[in-house]
Structure 1
Amino acid sequence: MRHLVWFRSDLRVADNPALFEACVNGATVSAIYIDCLEQWQSHGRSAIQRDFLSRHLQALSAELSQLGIDLTLLEVARFSDVPQCLAAWLAKHPHDALYANREIAIDERRRDKAVQAHLKNTPSIHVFNGDCVFNPGSLTTQSGDMYKVFTPFSKTWLAQLRASGFRLLPPPNAQAKPLTPRDIELKGERVSSNHWPCGERAAAQRLAQFCESHLYDYGHARDYPAVAGTSGLSPYLALGVLSPNQCLAAIEQQLGFLPMSRGEQGFAWLNELIWREFYRHLMVAFPQLSMNRAFKPDTEGLQWSQDSGAFQAWCQGQTGYPIVDAAMRCLNATGWMHNRLRMIVASFLTKDLHLSWRQGEDYFMSCLIDGELAANNGGWQWAAGTGADAAPYFRVFNPTTQGERFDGKGEFIRQWLPELADVPTKYIHSPHDWLNQHQPAHQYPAPIVDHKRARLHAIAMFDALKDNSREHLSPHELSAQQQAQAMLKELDQEVI
């Protein structure tokens, strides 16, 4: 028997259901990765993440070669080219069965359905959940619907964890003598990701170090960008170098148990893993989230600003609000942004500048090393007030008080805004009066908007939606609902 493993967003040997199952019963196993450069570009994914991906493919090739498994890189332009490419490769290299782990976004699901139709079950196709602790669609309300609010979803998720636990698969046994790994290097624009250690072992070490050093105080330390209090594991989760099951195992190993309720040590980080699962389950149940549609159909009618100058000022870190500008300059320079800062800058874009969350979502994806559709979309729609379990529309972050609260001494601000290096701590979050008096030739911009007025305007935007509500669906709501129903019907009975 010859089995083929198709790697996608699961670049690991350990806890990989598709790889593990392909390697049972003494089969001869091969592996492929299909790179679609134009598709990557059309999805707006970052050059730094592409470099991170390329490095991890090389590391995966080395790991698989030790198991006697050869990893082949196939290259096409777009997902639409994959079925024919895969069929042509299989014609030259016949296999009895194809193994893969599911992907959740709409374009990937359409690609996989096209592959299924093109191959016509020759070879046989076997698919697995390698992306979530619990398979999307398996946790539902009593009426069988996907949860639309996080808290009841998390209660059901935790109840399922108590009842069934989680399954952590070991690396498969070697299938043959070690091979010489292929050199794999992706084409296209790349920006160095060398600041991030590469490889499955490095990711596992980072996970263990985080649990040992920061798991206990994560609930407090995670909010302060000048402190290394977050896990820094999202780039590895985004590419599937780490699995959520491995994260649960690391928590359990460190604590001796899995925390199941708020207030228990380690629960704050476990809760972040549940949020990740929530957004991924939502994306499967509501595929329109992959298509730049708001989760709340009525918010499709929001009248967002079209001020391109304001958007560019936000992108470049030139808004005149220090914590916002420092966060954006950090993102531009490193491909990374602290989670508290992501919430601050997202609130600022949507509630202070009144620009669409879609612009922010796209910009983040073009910069982030951990860019991943479900989490990025979920976070942006939460901040904008358009998503599932979103922040109430009247909750608007004050960028100045957020900076005072979470970067009180201005350490993070001074790191990324050298023009404010001499500003006393007392004035660092509102530096303009001090700068005008002591450094009149300074280049730091004045605040781009007045926060108090911008907040009132943001609330009025949402109030206008309520005032315009009618008994019947609006054209915006109807269009969103029809698109969602059409996509669900299209993807019905998908196999891969």
Structure 2
Amino acid sequence: MKLNSSLVWLRRDLRVFDHVALNQALQNSARVYCVFVYDTTILDSLPRRDRRVDFIHASIAEVSAELQQLGGHLIVKHADAAAAIPALAAELGVDAVFCNHDYEPQAIARDAAVERALRADGRQFFSYKDQVIFEKSEVLSQTGGVFSVFTPYKNAWLKKLDADPSVLAPYHIEPHAARLAPPPANAPALPTLDELGFEPSNLAELKIPTGMSGAAQLFEDFLPRIAGYKDARDYPAVKGPSYLSMHFRFGTLSVRHLVRTVVDLMARGAGGEGVPVWLAELIWREFYAMILYHNPHVVGGAYKPAYDAIQWETGPEADELYAAWCEGRTGYPLVDAAMAQLNQTGYMHNRLRMVTACFLIKDLGIDWRRGEDYFALHLNDFDLASNNGGWQWASSSGCDAQPYFRIFNPVTQSEKFDSKGKFIRRYLPQLKDLTDKEIHAPWLAPRMLPLDYPEPLVMHDEARKRTLERYAVVKKTD
């Protein structure tokens, strides 16, 4: 395949290294243009202050600078991508558009529309695997079926990687950089946030590292801590996670590089128990992407259809309960501190995502889809597959071997994973004077001090009984 010119369309892959589509375009084209589209079909529904837009904006600036150093140029558009890409391809007169796969249903439909428009105009469309190690139907059961439970999927994933480690090979850009189209003499400046219709968020104040350099910085910081990841990851007051999830979401890092690094650590007997546990978390990400690809009905519906028969709480009272959960006014400190963390920073610790989701669903009886939507709007690292998978895990309606009666107790979770109340005190300073024992259930503390803190919305033991009754409709399916 030899093309005169091509256009590389960046989406969830905001980097200029180990980039499959860019590598393939450069190897097969005499001249290569690059473009990123601020897609109005996505951005127009977002609040005017959105950390994700800030993150993308900063990351795009770094991509642009990196391409310039290599002799290239980044074209930036603010438009409906489905229309803008074919139009730009025609304007530039390219032979083909190259991009990397996106597995979300809306993205698949968008890409199909773009491909149709390009082919109708006599141009080609090429898409590649880049954001995962194994995709779609690459990891199947011995009978050729799609996995529905994580552990056997993980085992098959690891076995496939062991059989073919070449999937981790990097896709080099520099050897072919001379084929990058140079910037035109009148190249416009990158659009400002204001020109895109947005205002700065508190991303800079939170000191969240952005772009390729930010991803590299976080990974280098995590590697010396990875040995302790197995235990540290569960404690929100401890610096345990990698904090790379936002970078996974926007592709400022190479998943091949990360997996290659940890596989090398394991091969050398380095990194301790934390390495395989962290690798398993990366595999969870691919598992949920595979589930979404094969089961698009999970967008808006239960993975296990029988669970759609559950009757959730509705009406004004349910709306008040939901609002209290969103605003961190449930009366359960760990839940409220976690929601405060989300609302203030756009991040929530993974253990707390499970705790807060379970509380909304199984203590308050609220439809899991309402919580999923709230997280989708507020999480910096929102990823449809992972967010949906996590919420369906919490609601027991997803692909999980645990039955419906798994119901987290928010107090015991608090006592176990924030025993000293350090995380709670950070986000709920009004509880700072309670003892380490009292802080997990303030309503049981002696009322010697006035507390600016609500009573519990529900009592967990009573809510648990209601949940078991609510789930009786699907009891036989489990």
> Following superposition of structure 1 onto structure 2, how do residues 325-404 of structure 1 map, counting pairs within 5 Å?
325-389=336-400, 391-404=402-415
Instruction: In structure 1, give the amino acid aligned to 2:16.
Output: V
Cross-structure match for 1:438: 448
Q: Tell me the CA shift for residue 443 of structure 1.
A: 2.1
Cross-structure match for 1:249: 260
C-alpha distance in 2, partners of 1:156/1:206? 29
C-alpha distance in 1, partners of 2:413/2:83? 52
Secondary structure at 1:160's aligned position in 2?
helix
> Following superposition of structure 1 onto structure 2, how do residues 84-99 of structure 1 map, counting pairs within 5 Å?
84-99=83-98
Q: Which runs of 5+ in 1 are unaligned?
A: 470-496
Cross-structure match for 2:192: 185
1:301 aligns with 2:315: no
Cross-structure match for 2:456: 447
Secondary structure at 2:203's aligned position in 1?
coil
Cross-structure match for 2:171: 169
Instruction: In structure 1, give the amino acid aligned to 2:304.
Output: K
Does the CA contact (< 8 Å) of 2:55 and 2:211 recur in 1? no
Secondary structure at 2:347's aligned position in 1?
coil
Does the CA contact (< 8 Å) of 2:48 and 2:198 recur in 1? no
Q: 1:16 to 1:181 in 2, by over 3 A?
A: farther
Q: What are the Cα deviations for residues 350-372 of structure 1, in whole angstroms up to 9, with x where unaligned? A: 01001111111111111111111
Instruction: In structure 1, give the amino acid aligned to 2:62.
Output: A
1:267 aligns with 2:266: no
Q: Which runs of 5+ in 2 are unaligned?
A: none
1:139 aligns with 2:139: yes
Does the CA contact (< 8 Å) of 2:236 and 2:423 recur in 1? yes
Q: Tell me the CA shift for residue 215 of structure 1.
A: 0.8
Q: What are the Cα deviations for residues 228-260 of structure 1, in whole angstroms up to 9, with x where unaligned? A: 101100000000111321211232454554899
C-alpha distance in 1, partners of 2:83/2:462? 56
Q: What are the Cα deviations for residues 326-382 of structure 1, in whole angstroms up to 9, with x where unaligned? A: 100111111111111111001101010011111111111111111111111111110
1:60 aligns with 2:63: yes
Q: Tell me the CA shift for residue 184 of structure 1.
A: 3.9
C-alpha distance in 2, partners of 1:52/1:218? 26
Does the CA contact (< 8 Å) of 1:251 and 1:257 recur in 2? no
C-alpha distance in 1, partners of 2:51/2:239? 21
1:155 aligns with 2:155: yes
Cross-structure match for 2:215: 203
Cross-structure match for 1:276: 285
Instruction: In structure 2, give the amino acid aligned to 1:183.
Output: L
Does the CA contact (< 8 Å) of 2:6 and 2:95 recur in 1? yes
Does the CA contact (< 8 Å) of 2:73 and 2:181 recur in 1? no
Cross-structure match for 2:109: 110
Does the CA contact (< 8 Å) of 1:5 and 1:19 recur in 2? yes
Cross-structure match for 1:50: 53
Q: 1:45 to 1:274 in 2, by over 3 A?
A: farther
> Following superposition of structure 1 onto structure 2, how do residues 121-136 of structure 1 map, counting pairs within 5 Å?
122-136=122-136
C-alpha distance in 2, partners of 1:44/1:144? 44
Q: 1:154 to 1:254 in 2, by over 3 A?
A: closer
Q: 1:452 to 1:74 in 2, by over 3 A?
A: same
Instruction: In structure 2, give the amino acid aligned to 1:418.
Output: P
1:7 aligns with 2:10: yes
C-alpha distance in 2, partners of 1:218/1:413? 21
Does the CA contact (< 8 Å) of 1:259 and 1:265 recur in 2? no
Structure 1 window deviating more from structure 2 (325-334 vs 170-179): it is: 170-179
Instruction: In structure 2, give the amino acid aligned to 1:185.
Output: T
1:31 aligns with 2:31: no
C-alpha distance in 1, partners of 2:188/2:255? 27
Pairing partner for 1:233 from 226, 229, 244 = 244
Identical aligned residues as a percent: 39
Does the CA contact (< 8 Å) of 1:383 and 1:391 recur in 2? no
Does the CA contact (< 8 Å) of 1:248 and 1:270 recur in 2? yes
Q: 1:243 to 1:304 in 2, by over 3 A?
A: farther
Choose between structure 1 and 2 for higher RCO, CA contacts under 8 A separated by at least 6 residues.
1
Cross-structure match for 1:494: none
Q: Tell me the CA shift for residue 288 of structure 1.
A: 1.8
Secondary structure at 1:120's aligned position in 2?
helix
Q: Tell me the CA shift for residue 324 of structure 1.
A: 0.4
Q: What are the Cα deviations for residues 60-84 of structure 1, in whole angstroms up to 9, with x where unaligned? A: 11111212221111222xxxx4343
C-alpha distance in 2, partners of 1:136/1:221? 32
C-alpha distance in 2, partners of 1:145/1:424? 53
Cross-structure match for 1:21: 24
Q: 1:211 to 1:343 in 2, by over 3 A?
A: same
Q: Tell me the CA shift for residue 90 of structure 1.
A: 2.1
Secondary structure at 1:155's aligned position in 2?
helix
Instruction: In structure 1, give the amino acid aligned to 2:433.
Output: D
Does the CA contact (< 8 Å) of 2:148 and 2:400 recur in 1? yes
C-alpha distance in 1, partners of 2:135/2:424? 41
C-alpha distance in 1, partners of 2:87/2:171? 32
Tell me how large the CA RMSD over aligned residues is: 2.3
Secondary structure at 1:23's aligned position in 2?
helix
C-alpha distance in 2, partners of 1:19/1:390? 40
Q: Tell me the CA shift for residue 54 of structure 1.
A: 1.3
- Equivalent residue pairs, number: 458
C-alpha distance in 1, partners of 2:44/2:462? 38
Cross-structure match for 1:72: 75
C-alpha distance in 2, partners of 1:408/1:169? 46
